[in-house]
Amino acid sequence: MYLESFTLPADEERLLDERAYCNGNSFGYIDNPYPCRLFSSREFSYIRFQKITIFYGGNGSGKSTLLNLIAERLKLKRIAPFNSGEMFAPYAACCQYEPACDDEGRPLRIPDESRILTSDDIFDHMLAIRASNDEISENKQIARGDWGELRYGDTVRFSGMQDYEKLRLQILARRKTVSRRQFIKRTAGEEVRMHSNGETALRFFQTNLKEDTLYCLDEPENSLSPKMQLELVRQLEEMARYCGCQFILATHSPFLLALGGALIYDLDETPVAVRSWWELGNIKVYYEFFKRHQKYFE
């Protein structure tokens, strides 16, 4: 574990007054105070962490905001940008955190590769694969047309560096050990094998989650079927237990909420409270639904 606790600013009104004054002296104002007053209205200011900590709540409850504040204050790496507003940076700068300590009581350093991963990162990853495959497909069409001309057409005359690339391709096309298929593969590239969105998302986590790292995961269940969510649960539990990872999640998923040993903050309550996963409103909705239809499962 690398992060012990995180404390939100206590004097939000001072931050707002200072910013308003910067915007126009005594006539200054702030269009949007976000994230000020979002958590103080729920009497929530102090967060302690376990190896797996979860922020639970409805849309607009502040789950993603908390992850972004932690990521901003700890300077975690990120891929996708986020909407912050004019008060976000000064608010994050006033947040305080305590690192965890080792067995001898020395503060631990947040690992350099620690990062925040969001559902936008996964969607962008999928789009990048599709775009790359489309480009390779176009290059293959060009390479199919070039192969016959280069192999059986006139020999390229080298008169300068502008002819180098075409001469190189002709030498490759005329090698007896290189077939047409191999020529196309080597010049156009090879497409990445596409899977379903859920399979691609799960592979994203399998590839990007490393040992001995702190991760903030924003709704990682997006695009994952229940079966794949359970596979992600298994992976997160193993990495937290055996691989030196600490996870901070924002999620609605009943499968992720049931992660073994997770500390869960219920942001739908005032004051915000720590709850067991089976006490959460979302879980009770699922329970009541299946209870009403229990006869179909007997």
- Residues 228, 199: contact at Cβ < 8 Å? yes
Going along the chain from its start, the domains and CATH numbers come out as: 3-113+210-297 (3.40.50), 124-188 (no CATH)
What's phi and psi for 64, nearest 5 deg? -65, -35
User: What pLDDT is attached to residue 162?
Assistant: 65
Checking if the pLDDT of 275 tops 70, the result is yes
Sign of CA dihedral 38, 41, 42, 47: positive
The mean pLDDT value for 98-122 works out to 89
User: What pLDDT is attached to residue 183?
Assistant: 67
SS3 category, 96? strand
Nearest to 8 by CA among 90, 122, 128: 90
Instruction: Encode pLDDT of 76-106 as tens digits.
Output: 998 877 777 888 999 999 999 999 998 888 9
